[in-house]
C-alpha cells in the first residue's frame, strides 16, 4: 500500500511529500508546518481498502 503522498500547500502552492500509515487508523488528522513557507497545514487522511487519500487545508 502506498504511504507516501504528494500534496500541495494551501498557502504557497508548493508540492510537499508526506507519509501517513494505515496502521495509525482509517481516519486521521494532523497539523504540520509547510517545509517551504512554514504555515500550518491540516492534513485530513483516510484509508479505505488499499487506497489512501490526503486533503491539505489551511489550519485554523
Residue whose entry in the numeric block shows the C-alpha cell 511529500: 17
Total of domains in the chain: 1
| Contact yes or no for 18/42 (Cβ under 8 A) | no
Domain holding 40, by residue range, is 4-58
Q: By C-alpha distance, which of 14, 4, 5 is closest to 39?
A: 14
Residue 53 has pLDDT above 80, yes or no: yes
Q: By C-alpha distance, which of 39, 5, 7, 42 is closest to 22?
A: 5
Per residue in 6-46, pLDDT tens? Answer: 999 999 999 999 999 999 999 999 999 999 999 999 999 99
For residue 27, with 0-12 CB atoms within 10 Å meaning exposed, 13-18 middle and 19 or more buried, which class applies?
exposed
| pTM, to two decimals | 0.87
Amino acid at each position: 500500500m502506498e504511504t507516501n503522498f504528494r500534496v500541495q500547500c494551501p498557502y504557497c502552492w508548493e508540492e510537499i511529500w508526506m507519509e501517513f500509515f494505515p496502521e495509525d487508523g482509517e481516519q486521521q488528522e494532523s497539523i504540520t508546518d509547510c517545509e517551504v513557507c512554514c504555515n500550518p497545514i491540516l492534513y485530513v487522511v483516510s484509508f479505505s481498502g488499499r487506497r489512501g487519500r490526503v486533503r491539505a487545508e489551511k489550519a485554523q
